[in-house]
Amino acid sequence: MADQQTKPNNHNVFGTLFPLFLFAAFAVFILVNNERIGQMSKGPSRDEVDGGKHIKWQKPHYAKFRTFKETVAAAKKAKRPIFLDLYADWCHPCKKLEKQTFSHPSVRELLDKYYAVKFNIDKAEGKALVRRFRVNRFPTTLMLGPDGRERERVVGFYSPRFFRPAVLAALTNKDLYTQLWWQHRKQPKNLTLQLKLADRSLLRRKIKAARKHYNALMKADPQDKQGFGSKGLFGLAKSYSRVGKYTQALRYIERFHKRYPKSKVRIDTYRLELYCYGKLKDRGSRASRRVYQKKYRALKKQFKTRYNGRTTAFH
């Protein structure tokens, strides 16, 4: 009998421990699940969004030159390219670009190989650079050689993933324009490549080349079945606006409205039209200014009504 009392009963042990095991497993599940829910409520971290943890974010080091002339002189002496950021205090995308893209390690490590400089476009030196490089949208970032000549430019905000290739290409002097040119030469019927080449040509101020490609797109897709015809005509309007020929740009915009009233780029076309009238309303004779001012106000009102107040100018 004593032996029977001291000998463990397997059924009793299982019956006692199994509920405890279930309780422990359930408690662990609750803790883990709560932690996940907490992380989800906070949202993904800034590092996780860009594909890595424990990333050290740090603004790039800007060389403190008072003028662009001083920058070029130093760059020539050091044989280093120039990274030129043209910004404005009122420009939200400019601040976003510096905070989220320039400060990312994958971009910042490349910027360390440049003379990185920034100029405010509302100050004298910044205004001069805007005229010199024909900048009309912000933010605009220019990658220049040590001699101050443009190698590459990026207009607008881009995440590190898409911004980095342009910085790297300019650093190795293999600009995107040249790459696109060779790709298009190998695939002359690829309209997507041709559109990219046309836009890149325009950014590089190769106006004649850009217009040639935009006209080719219109000819290849006159009914706009693939969307290239309207983009080609819009590109032609941009090409005249880019060099300050706003009345010619408006003629192409008028053609655009007649031929492609349902195009996907019509909102951008209205923005460009508003921008052109905004430039013309303060130029010319008093009579012409009145006409353009009237058209500008009417278009702005129409734009607000039609597109729910999205009146961001095409600058």
Query: What is the CATH code for 177-306?
Result: 1.25.40.10
What average pLDDT does the segment 143-151 reach?
92
Distance CA 128, CA 132 (A): 6
At 295 the three-state DSSP class reads helix
Beta strands in the chain (DSSP E): 82-87, 115-120, 140-144, 150-155
pLDDT tens digits, 96-116: 999 999 999 999 999 999 999
**Domain at 68-174, CATH homologous superfamily:** Glutaredoxin (3.40.30.10)
Residue 28 pLDDT > 60: no
Distance CA 277, CA 246 (A): 8
Distance CA 232, CA 218 (A): 5
pLDDT value of position 17: 56
Phi, psi for residue 67 in degrees, rounded to 5:
-130, 160
What average pLDDT does the segment 142-151 reach?
92
pLDDT value of position 148: 94
Distance CA 239, CA 222 (A): 19
Residue 14 pLDDT > 60: no
| Three-class DSSP labels, 197-215 | HHHHHHHCCCHHHHHHHHH
Residue 177 pLDDT > 90: no
What average pLDDT does the segment 203-229 reach?
93
Least Cα distance to 246 among 284, 200, 298 occurs for: 284
**Integer distance in angstroms from the first to the last C-alpha of the chain?**
98
Q: Which of 120-129, 157-166, 207-216 has the lowest mean pLDDT?
A: 157-166
Higher pLDDT, 205 or 37: 205
Residue 145 pLDDT > 50: yes
What average pLDDT does the segment 140-149 reach?
93
pLDDT value of position 157: 84
The whole-model pTM stands at 0.57
Q: What CA–CA distances, in Å, run from 137 to 134, 176, 277?
A: 10, 20, 16
pLDDT tens digits, 30-47: 444 444 334 333 333 444
Phi, psi for residue 129 in degrees, rounded to 5:
-70, -35
Higher pLDDT, 94 or 24: 94
pLDDT value of position 274: 87
Task: Give percent of the chain with pLDDT exceeding 90.
Answer: 47
237: Cβ contacts below 8 Å, ≥ 6 apart: 249, 250, 252, 253, 256, 269, 272
- Assign 315 a pLDDT band (cuts: 50, 70, 90): very low
The partner residues of 150 in beta bridges, in order of sequence, read 144
pLDDT value of position 294: 85
H or E stretch at 106: helix 105-111
pLDDT tens digits, 265-286: 998 898 898 888 888 888 878 8
Q: Where in the chain is the domain with CATH 3.40.30.10?
A: 68-174
At 15 the three-state DSSP class reads helix
- Assign 257 a pLDDT band (cuts: 50, 70, 90): very high
- Assign 178 a pLDDT band (cuts: 50, 70, 90): confident
How many helices (H) and strands (E) the chain has is answered by 15, 4
Report residue 259 as tokens.
């031929």
Residue 78 pLDDT > 70: yes
pLDDT tens digits, 231-254: 999 999 999 998 889 999 999 999
What average pLDDT does the segment 174-181 reach?
80
